[in-house]
Amino acid sequence: MRLILLISLLLLSAQSLATVYRWVDEKGKVHYSDEQKNNAEAVELNENTQNNMTINTPTKINITPTTEASINYSISITSPQEEATVRDNNGAFTVSVSITPQLPRGVLMTLLVDGVITAPAQVSNIFQLTGINRGEHSLVVNAVTQSGKVLASSSPRKIFLHQASVFGPAKKSK
């Protein structure tokens, strides 16, 4: 049974190698077919008829990308003023920042008080701080990418935070 199937498949494949005919109709249109028409001529097909394509190797173009690292950003703390005295018993105050040019999307700002990040990274240029202890503090704002690279920093700003003392004036003993 397998032998008969194999022989019939071989015979069918031999018949598929039919002759191709080419002819031109009365309108001048060229036709191809496996059936012979009047005025049709047989077309010889080479067995090595292949489409060959050549792909040009890409040339490297030197483009210097404009990244946020190549732009000089200017960050300055606008409030509180240099050596300002802030009076708040809760240690709360607001820090406002000015940035030029505008930071690209994905770049955040961090606020460092005495070299320690005290507020979460944010897009807003206004920081609300609470719980800062009294005394002299240095404020610095950094523009930071999501990978942690610092693009720009403000110059340090010195402020003084005053809080009312829990200790009253000393009482004289009698």
Segment 58-76 shows an average pLDDT of 69
Segment 150-167 shows an average pLDDT of 86
Homologous superfamily (CATH) of 74-162 is: Immunoglobulins (2.60.40.10)
CB within 8 Å of 114: residues ≥ 6 apart = 137, 138
Band the pLDDT of 40: cuts 50, 70, 90. Answer: confident
Q: How many whole angstroms separate alpha carbon 159 and alpha carbon 45?
A: 91
Alpha helices in the chain (DSSP H): 2-15
Q: What is the pLDDT of residue 68?
A: 47
Q: Which residue has the higher pLDDT, 74 or 165?
A: 74
Average pLDDT over the chain reads 82
Sketch the domain layout of the chain as residue ranges.
18-44, 74-162
Peptide bond into 65 cis (omega under 30): no
Share of the chain above pLDDT 70, in %: 79
| Structure tokens that stand for 83 in this block | 């050596």
Look at the pTM and tell me if it is higher than 0.75. Answer: no
